[in-house]
Amino acid sequence: MSEPQARGLAGDNRYEIRVQGHLDAHWDDWFEGLTITNEADGTTTLSGVVIDQARLHGLLGKIGGLGMTLISFNAIGNQPT
């Protein structure tokens, strides 16, 4: 019996994270190059490629450490080649 591969380790490295409130563009470096999109409803979407699970957990830790409210988290799938 084969074991299932963990998500994120087999190429599912594109994510979309939505948080409450708006962020300025200068947070790009802090969030490791994710695209920051301020939405009309007062939320911010962070989207892009995260190279591995350790970085993903680090990003989620930063969100929590800043006291931001996490609204949603979606694995988008493989980045187009």
> What does the pLDDT read at residue 62?
93
Comparing 14 with 4, which gets the higher pLDDT? Answer: 14
Q: Give the C-alpha separation, 21 to 34, whole Å.
A: 16
Q: Do 20 and 69 touch, CB atoms closer than 8 A?
A: yes
What is the SS3 string spanning 27-79?
Answer: HCCCCCCCEEEECCCCEEEEEEECCCHHHHHHHHHHHHHCCCCEEEEEEEECC
Q: Give the C-alpha separation, 14 to 74, whole Å.
A: 9
Q: Give the C-alpha separation, 66 to 54, whole Å.
A: 18
> What does the pLDDT read at residue 12?
57
Q: What is the pLDDT of residues 22-79, one digit of tens each?
A: 998 788 888 888 999 999 999 999 999 998 889 999 999 999 999 999 999 999 876 4
Q: Do 76 and 15 touch, CB atoms closer than 8 A?
A: yes
Q: Which CATH class is domain 14-76?
A: alpha beta
